[in-house]
Structure 1
Amino acid sequence: MKDTQFIIIYDTYCGWCYGAAPLFDALVETGAQVKVLHRHLFQGMNAPRMKDGKGDFILKMDAHISSLTGQVFSQAYQDNVVLSDAEILDSTYSALAAALVHEQGPVKEFSLRQRLEEQRFINGVSAQNRGVVVQTLIEDGVEPDSAQLFDNAENIAKASEISQQAIELMARVSSGGVPTLVKITDGHIEKIDHSAFYGQPELIKTLVSANTKGSCISII
């Protein structure tokens, strides 16, 4: 019997992560041992204002992602987010939201991720809209008092720790960006080319070996 674990590294506001989301959701749904880590890629110096040229690049990239994966980037998202002079590509709120529910496991964290993706990529809600993130947390079952305090110092530290774990694992498998999918079998670690499953999320189950015991391996 082999011990196998999958680790998915993502950022909610990354277009490529949104494109790959159906694959990763399908992997979680197999019941395999899965750990998810929010990378918090967009912050600080890596949180550009859309009007400074980033928006035009993102529009082209989103169209490419959509053609490969079938994921929808709505007109509201294009108009209110990508083409907004005020929008900053900053995933701080989504990283903090993910950290708040992280200990409840990948099903819970990805349920929240799906809701936040819908708010951004379909409804066109700004990444700077704290109120929508709080409301999304509540709608996903977080107690209102906890949701209102999701950006407190303790949770900021937790989100930073999770992001650092992701950074270290990405370096270990020589990954240059998110999303990153890692498979660990009996201590052997490998990066999986998830793009092979674009448009065919049901095939992701082939990664889950029939002789997998499914115990969790801690490498980070």
Structure 2
Amino acid sequence: MPHFTYIYDTYCGWCYGAEPVITALIDSGAAVEVFHRHLFQGANAHRMGDGFGRMAMQYDRRIATLSGQEFSDTYVSNILSAPDEVLESGLTARAAALIHDRGAKAEMALAARLQRERFVNGRSAADKAAVTAALAEAGVTADLADAAEKARALSEQAGALLARYGLSGVPALLRHDGDNTQIVNIGDFYQTPERIAAIAA
């Protein structure tokens, strides 16, 4: 039976668009391992007022059209139009690290919860309370600060996997079957996420 590796960043709009597809894959019973890339940090921690907000809005509209995922007016107002808002996914990387050992289903449920907080409810990437509350709902009470090293290690693993298969961005879904690894085009399943179960057979 094939197994899968999924690499994502919670605050990546394309990863938000892919969420129903990956959830459907996990719900099909497929063996899936997930890694949070922590893409948005350092030079990639973008300030909305520097033009990133306008660019992200264009991508988000396209993602919404392709995937049906909601990007609310509240998100546009509170996040994309807030000049000092910075897209830095360190808190979500630590949250992912804290729940990682519970498996892909738990980690993706947390990611989906945090994506709704951002893209629908308009919560800032710097809103630690929102991340902590989502973790608590998942039954995780450990301090985010304690997960810094594990988050870094998981991100490095994700980066190494991307490089191995000639990839640089997220989301990335890999299908492993014996010695063969195939890059799956998630976009093929945006409109009908349930179809992805067929490639897990």
- TM > 0.5 fold call: yes
Matched, 1:88 2:86: yes
What one-letter code is carried by the residue in structure 2 that aligns with 1:151?
A
What's the CA shift string for 1:14-33, capped at 9, x where partnerless?
Answer: 00000011000000001111
Identity %: 42
> Which residue of 171, 175, 186 maps to 1:179?
171
2:40–2:89 Cα contact (<8 Å) kept:
yes
What one-letter code is carried by the residue in structure 1 that aligns with 2:174?
V
> Which residue of 20, 32, 35 maps to 2:33?
35
Residue 176 of structure 1 and its aligned partner are, at CA, apart by 2.7
Residue number in structure 1 paired with 2:19:
21
Residue number in structure 2 paired with 1:100:
98
What one-letter code is carried by the residue in structure 2 that aligns with 1:112?
L
Q: Any idea what SS the aligned residue of 1:183 has?
A: strand
Paired with 1:69 and 1:166, the residues of 2 have a C-alpha distance of 24
What one-letter code is carried by the residue in structure 1 that aligns with 2:28?
T
> Which residue of 118, 121, 140 maps to 1:120?
118
What one-letter code is carried by the residue in structure 1 that aligns with 2:134?
T
1:182–1:191 Cα contact (<8 Å) kept:
yes
Residue number in structure 2 paired with 1:150:
144
Matched, 1:58 2:63: no
Paired with 2:132 and 2:19, the residues of 1 have a C-alpha distance of 22
1:66–1:73 Cα contact (<8 Å) kept:
yes
1:43–1:92 Cα contact (<8 Å) kept:
yes
Residues matched between the structures, number: 201
> Which residue of 42, 52, 73 maps to 2:71?
73
1:182–1:189 Cα contact (<8 Å) kept:
yes
Q: Any idea what SS the aligned residue of 2:30 has?
A: coil
Residue 114 of structure 1 and its aligned partner are, at CA, apart by 1.2
1:173–1:190 Cα contact (<8 Å) kept:
no
Residue number in structure 2 paired with 1:111:
109
Paired with 1:199 and 1:182, the residues of 2 have a C-alpha distance of 20
Residue 166 of structure 1 and its aligned partner are, at CA, apart by 0.7
Residue number in structure 1 paired with 2:188:
196
4+ residue runs over 6 A deviation:
none
What's the CA shift string for 1:147-206, capped at 9, x where partnerless?
Answer: xx1123xx1110111111111111111113100000111121121111111111010011
The within-5 A match list for 1:201-216 is: 201-209=193-201
Question: TM-score, normalization: structure 2?
Answer: 0.97
Paired with 1:159 and 1:5, the residues of 2 have a C-alpha distance of 23
What's the CA shift string for 1:15-73, capped at 9, x where partnerless?
Answer: 00000110000000011110000010000111011100000000011000101111110
